[in-house]
Structure 1
Amino acid sequence: MADFNWLEILGWNSYQLEELRFAGFSFVRQGKYDKALIYFKSLVILDPKSSYDFQILGALYLQTNEEAQALPMLNQALELDPTHEPTQLNKVKTLITLGQKSEAFALAAALEKSKNRVIADDATAVIMAHS
Protein backbone atom coordinates (compact mmCIF):
# COMPACT_ATOMS: atom_id res chain seq x y z
CA MET A 1 0.00 0.00 0.00
CA ALA A 2 2.91 2.35 0.56
CA ASP A 3 3.57 2.32 -3.18
CA PHE A 4 0.46 4.40 -3.79
CA ASN A 5 0.11 8.10 -3.15
CA TRP A 6 -3.25 7.85 -1.43
CA LEU A 7 -3.52 11.58 -0.87
CA GLU A 8 -3.24 12.19 -4.59
CA ILE A 9 -5.65 9.36 -5.41
CA LEU A 10 -8.20 10.75 -2.93
CA GLY A 11 -7.59 14.36 -3.89
CA TRP A 12 -6.72 15.15 -0.28
CA ASN A 13 -4.23 17.59 1.21
CA SER A 14 -2.85 18.39 4.64
CA TYR A 15 -6.20 19.82 5.75
CA GLN A 16 -7.95 16.45 5.52
CA LEU A 17 -5.03 14.75 7.29
CA GLU A 18 -5.23 17.23 10.16
CA GLU A 19 -8.97 16.63 10.42
CA LEU A 20 -8.34 12.88 10.72
CA ARG A 21 -5.64 13.48 13.34
CA PHE A 22 -7.94 15.75 15.30
CA ALA A 23 -10.76 13.20 15.21
CA GLY A 24 -8.43 10.34 16.15
CA PHE A 25 -6.88 12.27 18.99
CA SER A 26 -10.31 13.23 20.32
CA PHE A 27 -10.95 9.49 20.79
CA VAL A 28 -7.57 9.17 22.55
CA ARG A 29 -8.58 11.92 25.00
CA GLN A 30 -11.85 10.10 25.66
CA GLY A 31 -10.03 6.81 26.31
CA LYS A 32 -11.66 5.19 23.27
CA TYR A 33 -8.46 3.64 22.03
CA ASP A 34 -10.11 1.10 19.75
CA LYS A 35 -11.68 3.92 17.73
CA ALA A 36 -8.50 6.01 17.79
CA LEU A 37 -6.57 3.02 16.42
CA ILE A 38 -8.74 3.04 13.30
CA TYR A 39 -7.83 6.65 12.58
CA PHE A 40 -4.11 6.29 13.18
CA LYS A 41 -3.88 3.04 11.22
CA SER A 42 -5.35 4.98 8.31
CA LEU A 43 -3.06 7.95 8.85
CA VAL A 44 0.16 5.92 8.63
CA ILE A 45 -1.03 4.62 5.26
CA LEU A 46 -2.09 8.05 4.03
CA ASP A 47 1.01 9.85 5.32
CA PRO A 48 3.82 7.29 5.69
CA LYS A 49 6.42 9.99 6.36
CA SER A 50 4.68 11.33 9.46
CA SER A 51 6.65 10.30 12.52
CA TYR A 52 3.86 11.72 14.68
CA ASP A 53 1.27 9.27 13.34
CA PHE A 54 3.60 6.31 13.90
CA GLN A 55 4.40 7.60 17.41
CA ILE A 56 0.73 7.81 18.33
CA LEU A 57 -0.12 4.46 16.73
CA GLY A 58 2.73 2.78 18.62
CA ALA A 59 1.61 4.39 21.87
CA LEU A 60 -1.96 3.26 21.25
CA TYR A 61 -0.84 -0.32 20.67
CA LEU A 62 1.20 -0.13 23.88
CA GLN A 63 -1.81 1.27 25.77
CA THR A 64 -4.03 -1.56 24.49
CA ASN A 65 -1.49 -4.27 25.42
CA GLU A 66 -0.63 -5.04 21.80
CA GLU A 67 3.12 -4.69 22.29
CA ALA A 68 4.03 -6.94 19.35
CA GLN A 69 2.24 -4.46 17.09
CA ALA A 70 3.57 -1.44 18.98
CA LEU A 71 7.23 -2.21 18.40
CA PRO A 72 7.28 -1.92 14.57
CA MET A 73 5.31 1.34 14.76
CA LEU A 74 7.68 2.79 17.35
CA ASN A 75 10.67 1.63 15.30
CA GLN A 76 9.24 3.33 12.21
CA ALA A 77 8.61 6.52 14.18
CA LEU A 78 12.21 6.47 15.41
CA GLU A 79 13.49 5.84 11.91
CA LEU A 80 11.70 9.03 10.85
CA ASP A 81 12.64 10.99 14.00
CA PRO A 82 15.43 9.21 15.93
CA THR A 83 15.72 11.83 18.67
CA HIS A 84 12.10 11.79 19.88
CA GLU A 85 12.57 10.78 23.50
CA PRO A 86 8.92 10.04 24.40
CA THR A 87 8.88 7.48 21.58
CA GLN A 88 12.18 6.05 22.82
CA LEU A 89 10.65 5.72 26.28
CA ASN A 90 7.60 3.95 24.85
CA LYS A 91 9.97 1.62 23.04
CA VAL A 92 11.68 0.85 26.37
CA LYS A 93 8.32 -0.06 27.93
CA THR A 94 7.38 -2.16 24.91
CA LEU A 95 10.68 -4.05 24.91
CA ILE A 96 10.35 -4.83 28.62
CA THR A 97 6.85 -6.20 28.12
CA LEU A 98 8.12 -8.33 25.23
CA GLY A 99 10.88 -9.72 27.46
CA GLN A 100 13.74 -7.91 25.70
CA LYS A 101 15.12 -6.40 28.88
CA SER A 102 18.77 -5.99 27.88
CA GLU A 103 17.88 -3.85 24.86
CA ALA A 104 15.30 -1.97 26.93
CA PHE A 105 17.76 -1.24 29.73
CA ALA A 106 20.43 -0.03 27.28
CA LEU A 107 17.99 2.45 25.76
CA ALA A 108 16.66 3.45 29.19
CA ALA A 109 20.21 4.07 30.44
CA ALA A 110 20.75 6.50 27.57
CA LEU A 111 17.44 8.21 28.37
CA GLU A 112 18.50 8.64 32.01
CA LYS A 113 20.99 11.22 30.68
CA SER A 114 18.26 13.25 28.99
CA LYS A 115 18.12 16.98 29.67
CA ASN A 116 14.36 16.53 29.96
CA ARG A 117 13.96 15.59 33.63
CA VAL A 118 10.57 13.95 33.09
CA ILE A 119 12.06 11.58 30.50
CA ALA A 120 15.17 10.95 32.61
CA ASP A 121 13.13 10.26 35.74
CA ASP A 122 10.72 7.97 33.88
CA ALA A 123 13.65 6.03 32.43
CA THR A 124 15.12 5.61 35.91
CA ALA A 125 11.76 4.49 37.28
CA VAL A 126 11.36 1.89 34.52
CA ILE A 127 14.83 0.49 35.22
CA MET A 128 14.20 0.36 38.96
CA ALA A 129 10.79 -1.27 38.53
CA HIS A 130 12.08 -4.03 36.27
CA SER A 131 15.57 -4.75 37.64
Structure 2
Amino acid sequence: MPTDVMAEARELALSSRFVKVRSGKLEVWVYLGPREDHLLVTAGHPKEVGKAAEEPVYCSCEAFQLRFISEERSLACKHVHALRLVLRGLATHTEVELKDPGQLAEIINEVIDVGRSVTLRKVLSGLVNDSPS
Protein backbone atom coordinates (compact mmCIF):
# COMPACT_ATOMS: atom_id res chain seq x y z
CA MET A 1 0.00 0.00 0.00
CA PRO A 2 1.58 3.34 -1.03
CA THR A 3 2.47 5.61 1.87
CA ASP A 4 0.54 8.55 0.41
CA VAL A 5 -2.71 6.52 0.41
CA MET A 6 -2.18 5.61 4.07
CA ALA A 7 -1.42 9.25 4.91
CA GLU A 8 -4.63 10.30 3.14
CA ALA A 9 -6.52 7.56 4.98
CA ARG A 10 -5.24 8.80 8.37
CA GLU A 11 -6.26 12.34 7.44
CA LEU A 12 -9.75 11.17 6.42
CA ALA A 13 -10.15 9.11 9.60
CA LEU A 14 -9.21 12.08 11.78
CA SER A 15 -11.61 14.39 9.91
CA SER A 16 -14.61 12.99 11.88
CA ARG A 17 -16.59 12.76 8.62
CA PHE A 18 -17.62 9.11 9.02
CA VAL A 19 -21.22 8.46 10.05
CA LYS A 20 -22.64 5.08 11.04
CA VAL A 21 -26.30 5.09 10.00
CA ARG A 22 -28.63 2.42 11.39
CA SER A 23 -32.28 1.55 11.06
CA GLY A 24 -33.20 -1.58 12.97
CA LYS A 25 -30.70 -4.26 11.97
CA LEU A 26 -29.66 -2.45 8.78
CA GLU A 27 -26.43 -0.48 8.96
CA VAL A 28 -24.21 1.43 6.55
CA TRP A 29 -21.39 3.92 6.87
CA VAL A 30 -21.26 7.20 4.99
CA TYR A 31 -18.18 9.33 4.47
CA LEU A 32 -19.39 12.93 4.22
CA GLY A 33 -16.89 14.36 1.79
CA PRO A 34 -16.36 18.03 1.05
CA ARG A 35 -17.33 17.44 -2.59
CA GLU A 36 -18.87 13.97 -2.65
CA ASP A 37 -20.22 11.45 -0.15
CA HIS A 38 -19.33 7.76 -0.24
CA LEU A 39 -21.26 4.76 0.97
CA LEU A 40 -19.29 2.06 2.79
CA VAL A 41 -20.51 -1.37 3.78
CA THR A 42 -18.93 -3.58 6.42
CA ALA A 43 -19.09 -7.30 7.09
CA GLY A 44 -18.79 -8.77 10.56
CA HIS A 45 -16.40 -11.50 11.59
CA PRO A 46 -15.48 -13.11 14.92
CA LYS A 47 -13.50 -10.73 17.09
CA GLU A 48 -9.80 -11.42 16.90
CA VAL A 49 -7.06 -9.80 18.95
CA GLY A 50 -6.11 -6.52 17.31
CA LYS A 51 -8.98 -6.60 14.81
CA ALA A 52 -12.29 -4.81 14.75
CA ALA A 53 -15.48 -6.90 14.86
CA GLU A 54 -16.36 -5.63 11.41
CA GLU A 55 -14.34 -4.96 8.28
CA PRO A 56 -15.10 -2.60 5.36
CA VAL A 57 -15.83 -4.60 2.20
CA TYR A 58 -17.29 -2.01 -0.20
CA CYS A 59 -16.96 1.68 -1.01
CA SER A 60 -18.96 3.59 -3.61
CA CYS A 61 -15.98 5.76 -4.63
CA GLU A 62 -14.58 5.61 -8.15
CA ALA A 63 -11.17 4.32 -7.02
CA PHE A 64 -12.75 1.28 -5.35
CA GLN A 65 -14.92 0.59 -8.40
CA LEU A 66 -11.94 0.79 -10.78
CA ARG A 67 -9.91 -1.58 -8.61
CA PHE A 68 -12.83 -4.01 -8.54
CA ILE A 69 -13.22 -3.97 -12.33
CA SER A 70 -9.47 -4.41 -12.88
CA GLU A 71 -9.41 -7.24 -10.31
CA GLU A 72 -6.57 -5.65 -8.35
CA ARG A 73 -5.43 -7.70 -5.39
CA SER A 74 -6.11 -4.88 -2.98
CA LEU A 75 -9.57 -3.41 -3.44
CA ALA A 76 -9.04 -1.03 -0.56
CA CYS A 77 -9.36 2.67 -1.34
CA LYS A 78 -8.40 5.47 1.06
CA HIS A 79 -11.96 5.49 2.46
CA VAL A 80 -11.79 1.78 3.32
CA HIS A 81 -8.41 2.24 5.01
CA ALA A 82 -9.74 5.26 6.91
CA LEU A 83 -12.83 3.38 8.07
CA ARG A 84 -10.59 0.56 9.34
CA LEU A 85 -8.89 3.12 11.58
CA VAL A 86 -12.28 4.37 12.79
CA LEU A 87 -13.47 0.81 13.49
CA ARG A 88 -10.35 0.14 15.55
CA GLY A 89 -11.18 3.14 17.71
CA LEU A 90 -8.32 5.29 16.45
CA ALA A 91 -10.63 8.09 15.27
CA THR A 92 -14.08 9.39 16.13
CA HIS A 93 -17.30 9.07 14.18
CA THR A 94 -20.98 9.97 14.49
CA GLU A 95 -23.77 7.43 14.93
CA VAL A 96 -27.35 7.96 13.80
CA GLU A 97 -30.31 5.68 14.55
CA LEU A 98 -33.24 6.15 12.18
CA LYS A 99 -36.72 4.93 13.11
CA ASP A 100 -37.86 4.86 9.49
CA PRO A 101 -36.04 2.33 7.25
CA GLY A 102 -37.31 4.34 4.27
CA GLN A 103 -35.12 7.22 5.40
CA LEU A 104 -32.07 4.94 5.34
CA ALA A 105 -33.00 3.87 1.80
CA GLU A 106 -33.31 7.54 0.84
CA ILE A 107 -29.83 8.29 2.20
CA ILE A 108 -28.34 5.34 0.30
CA ASN A 109 -30.10 6.36 -2.93
CA GLU A 110 -28.93 9.97 -2.62
CA VAL A 111 -25.30 8.93 -2.14
CA ILE A 112 -25.41 6.47 -5.04
CA ASP A 113 -27.50 8.57 -7.46
CA VAL A 114 -26.47 12.15 -6.63
CA GLY A 115 -23.17 11.70 -4.79
CA ARG A 116 -24.41 13.64 -1.75
CA SER A 117 -27.03 12.99 0.91
CA VAL A 118 -29.08 16.03 1.79
CA THR A 119 -31.28 13.82 3.99
CA LEU A 120 -28.35 12.70 6.15
CA ARG A 121 -27.15 16.27 6.51
CA LYS A 122 -30.64 17.32 7.66
CA VAL A 123 -30.70 14.47 10.19
CA LEU A 124 -27.26 15.47 11.50
CA SER A 125 -28.31 19.11 11.63
CA GLY A 126 -31.30 18.07 13.73
CA LEU A 127 -28.98 16.21 16.12
CA VAL A 128 -26.91 19.36 16.58
CA ASN A 129 -30.01 21.51 17.06
CA ASP A 130 -31.55 19.04 19.54
CA SER A 131 -28.45 18.66 21.71
CA PRO A 132 -28.51 20.38 25.11
CA SER A 133 -26.54 23.61 25.34
Q: What range describes the TM-score normalised by the shorter chain of this pair?
A: under 0.3
- Give the TM-score normalised by the residue count of structure 2: 0.25
TM-score where L is the length of structure 1:
0.25
**Greater length-normalized contact order (CA 8 Å, ≥ 6 residues apart):** 2
Q: Which has the larger radius of gyration?
A: 1
Structure with more helix by fraction: 1
